[in-house]
Structure 1
Amino acid sequence: MIDILEHINAIHRQVSVTGEEVRVVLRRSYQAEVEEVWDALTDPERMRRWFMPISGELKVGGSFQLEGNAGGEILECEPPERFKVTFGGPTSLVEIKLTAGPDDTTELQMDHSVPAEYAGGAGGALFVGPGWDGGLLGLALYLEGQIAEEDDPREMANAPEAVEFTKESVRAWIKTVRESGLATEEELRAAAEPAIAQFAPGSSFDDFS
């Protein structure tokens, strides 16, 4: 059993619009040293345990492909503190930063920026935010030793607890976008409805309001 609300509240979410860019930021602390978190994020054998299989030439200038998901190019890498990649397209940029915290903890910050035209405004955070929340949850469970060798993260994503976590994640992102003041209620609904269909099928926008 996982404490769904504890994991939801462990993530700090932010969305901003600057010029022609929409930027989504997630932050979460882990009870592990920076080198351990970095290794879990970048070692293909460990990544498949909590995220999904990855292939490619995993170095600066190389490319990667997540099995059944997006791929991209590795633009920058500074072990064990930072890497930057394209994700699903050349103008979709993801950057991960790790910093040491107190008592052998690590703070992870993820920045995902896309052109505003592509994102459709601040509401575009709903297209990626819940998915990234799920990734940060998987990393937490893995670092805490709650994922067994035989567990398949893709199957785990369909477990009742994971489904409920994703619904609460959608709720949290709707709240984040609404509180940002960067989208009208109509724009928020327009972005939320397809995101709900993807991440929380069977629910409606009114269920989250």
Structure 2
Amino acid sequence: MKDALDELAAARRAMGKGRVPAGEAYTIEIRRRYDAQIDDVWDALTSPERLRRWLKPVTGELRPGGKFELDGGEHGEILRCEPPRLLKVSWLFGPEADDWPGTSEVEVRLAPGPAEDTEFELIHAAVVEEPLFPTYGPGAGGVGWDLRLLALAQLLAGGEPADHEAIEKSPEAREFIRRSAASWGEAHLAAGGDPEHVAAAVEATTKFYAP
């Protein structure tokens, strides 16, 4: 459990505003360092075999302009791909999302660190309506990314990430989720969120991920 909480503490989180083709968007931002070379991190982000191990199985045309689909419903288009530093995709969920192209975009930026490590930045910009953002705040997507990036850290460290469903149902995961939701609450407060709204959103997010 300590290793998982250390990974959680290694990230810096922020919430902001941005734009996608559909209009104004909320952004969640995660920055951290991985003890792996940039080419290794890039491969973990773009190799179908490795994506399956920390994110989800992926199919499609994995090239700029190509479309992809994850085993779980998420799908989109590869908007930019500049190895090994930048990957940007549209990120939609469910068939109804096709009516709203660009409602959600994920961008990952990598930079080589000073000790053969890698600086990692993920920005997820989404146009979010009721009940997601008002109810859950940035933790709606942020906790999910924290869980996935924990699995990525395990993969880059040479291990085999645990099964996602098993992780999320374990007692240790409940503590990880609780602390992740609280961390996103801190980011929400730092962005000017009303303290009562933030507290309610943190509670709702925790119950959603760990009912």
Same fold (TM over 0.5): yes
CA contact (8 A) 1:56 1:64 kept: yes
Unaligned runs of 5+ in 1: 202-209
1:98 aligns with 2:102: no
Residue by residue over 1:26-77, the C-alpha shift from the partner in whole angstroms, topping out at 9 and shown as x without a partner, is 0111011100000011111111112211111111111111111411111111
Percent of aligned pairs sharing the same letter = 39
Unaligned runs of 5+ in 2: none
Query: Against the structure 1 CA distance between its residues 157 and 200, is the aligned structure 2 distance closer, same or farther, given a 3 Å change threshold?
Result: closer
CA distance in 2, matches of 1:147, 1:192: 30
* TM-score, length-scaled by structure 2: 0.83
Q: Secondary structure of the equivalent of 1:49? A: helix
CA RMSD, aligned part only? 2.3
Say how many residue pairs are matched: 198
1:112 aligns with 2:116: no
* TM-score, length-scaled by structure 1: 0.84
The corresponding residue for 2:167 is 156
CA distance in 1, matches of 2:114, 2:198: 37
1:184 aligns with 2:188: no
CA contact (8 A) 2:185 2:201 kept: no
The corresponding residue for 1:198 is 208
Shift of 1:122: 11
The corresponding residue for 1:126 is 139
1:174 aligns with 2:185: yes
Letter in 1 for 2:104: S
Query: Against the structure 1 CA distance between its residues 157 and 117, is the aligned structure 2 distance closer, same or farther, given a 3 Å change threshold?
Result: closer
Q: Which moved more, 1:121-130 or 1:93-102?
A: 121-130
The corresponding residue for 2:152 is 139
Query: Against the structure 1 CA distance between its residues 25 and 68, is the aligned structure 2 distance closer, same or farther, given a 3 Å change threshold?
Result: same
Shift of 1:162: 2.8
CA distance in 2, matches of 1:128, 1:117: 13
Letter in 1 for 2:205: A
